[in-house]
Amino acid sequence: MSSPARPRRLGAYLRPPASLLGPLAVALAAMTVLPLVGPMLVSRFVDGAVAGRSTSALLALAGAYLATAVGAQGARLLASWLASRAAWDGTNRLREAVADHTLRL
């Protein structure tokens, strides 16, 4: 039967570095919020087109939509990269500990 201390020791290896937590949280928030803004911009665009708004206003809305879509993809890419970096850092720390222990044996 395993002791309760083992999961805590394993958790210490797998805990992501503090320097990655802030940027990862921001990227995850942006990845969540930005796709929700897109449909609102499309709604405003359609309402403006039906109401006969100027072409420049509609182009501004279209540009905002494109910027939002690109920003959402960028946030998704950044979040994936930061999460994989945190995972690799944890597994590398665990590998180093196992190798060190093996060499000491």
Please report the pLDDT score of residue 29 as a whole number: 96
Neighbour-count burial for 65-88, b at 16+ CB within 10 Å, e otherwise: beebeebbeebbebbeebeeebee
Please report the pLDDT score of residue 41 as a whole number: 96
Please report the pLDDT score of residue 87 as a whole number: 87
Q: Which parts of the chain have pLDDT scores under 70?
A: 1-8
